[in-house]
Amino acid sequence: MIRKFTLCVYTNALLVIILSLYLFVAPILLLAQDLSEPALSSGEVPRFAFRWHRTLSTDLEDWARQRVASGKAATLSVQDISGTEWPVFS
C-alpha cells in the first residue's frame, strides 16, 4: 500500500513539473528569445514575425472568407473603424 502511494506521489509531482515547465517556463524562454532578436534593433524583419504570421493567418482565414462572403463590409462607411479595421486586428 505504501509503495502505491509513493508511486502516485512521484507521478503527480512529475506531472506538475512537466505542466509548470510547459505553461510557465517555455513561454518566458520563447519571449526572451524573441526580444533578443538582432533584427529588432537593425530595422529588419525579425524571424518571429514569420512564425506569428503563420499562426495568426490560419486563425483569421475562416473569418476573412466568411466576412467577404457575407458582403457586410461593403455596406459600412470608411469612418466605421470598429466595423472595418478592428476585426482584422482581433
pLDDT tens for each residue of 16-56: 999 999 999 999 999 999 999 999 989 899 999 998 888 88
Q: Place 78 in a pLDDT band, splitting at 50, 70 and 90.
A: confident
Task: Name the residue ranges covered by the structural domains of the chain.
Answer: 1-36, 47-90
pTM above 0.95, yes or no: no
* Contact call for residues 62 and 52 (beta carbons, < 8 A): no
* Contact call for residues 36 and 28 (beta carbons, < 8 A): no
Cα–Cα distance for residue pair 44/89, rounded to 1 Å: 22
Cα–Cα distance for residue pair 77/71, rounded to 1 Å: 13
How many CA atoms are closer than 13 Å to the CA of 68, on its beta-carbon side? Answer: 6
Q: Grid coordinates in use for 68? A: 467577404
